[in-house]
Amino acid sequence: MIKTSRFIIVYVLLGITALYLFTHADSAVPMNKPFSEFPNRVADWRMTSRQEFSEGVLEVLKPTDYLSRQYAAPDGRQVNLYLGYHSGGKDSGGIHSPKHCLPGSGWYEVSTVKTVEETGKGQINMVRAIYQKGESQEMFLYWFQVRDKSLNDEYRLKLAELSNSITSRRRDSTFVRISVPFESDQEKAEALGQKFIKDFQPIIREFLPT
């Protein structure tokens, strides 16, 4: 009798889970503002170029909205900013990790560490990675933004998306990536990237839903 009751409970739970998965649909969450309104000048940074992705690239990435720009510091050093927002709607794809995308583009990984950046307005959990292609080296500073949380791990990203889906019917997330090319002075490149993040993070958050 006890075994029968247990089987009934298991079947009921499986049925409820199946019904939930069948009927559950996440809502597309709109941004506060489109990236087209992102400023060309932030603090003492100025935009020097912007990149528009091809239809083929967009079909792979499937962002709801994105931004890819080059900004210059007063001394001329360049920093690239990529923002990819995924609303969680049916036409929105998931975030593609640089761990897979960069090697596929001919870059090989030199080093990767998870770190915490103090911005003065809170901490950012992020990844600092060095990649090389030929003689070119580039530092990538990136994280996944899910509502008010910054995440530096793909598994935590999936868990956060799943949790929000269950509790709020939303899976929206943003990929934030800053890249700094450099020749030999890694510390100088990191300092430039850190300044960029501190200047830009408050602006970025204005565009994203919480």
Q: Per-residue pLDDT tens for 100-128?
A: 778 777 888 999 999 999 988 889 999 99
- Domain 28-207 fold: Protein Transport Mog1p; Chain A (3.40.1000)
169: left (phi over 0), alpha (psi -120 to 50) or beta: left
Across 150-163, average pLDDT = 94
pLDDT band at 4 (very low <50, low <70, confident <90, very high): low
User: Cα Rg for the chain, rounded, in angstroms?
Assistant: 20
Encoded tokens for 22: 């069948």
Question: pLDDT tens digits, residue range 5-15?
Answer: 555 654 544 44
What is the helix (H) or strand (E) element at residue 167, kind and residue range? helix 154-168
CB 68 within 8 A of CB 53: yes
**Interior/surface letters 43-55, b for 16+ CB within 10 angstroms, e for the rest:** eebeeeeeeeeee
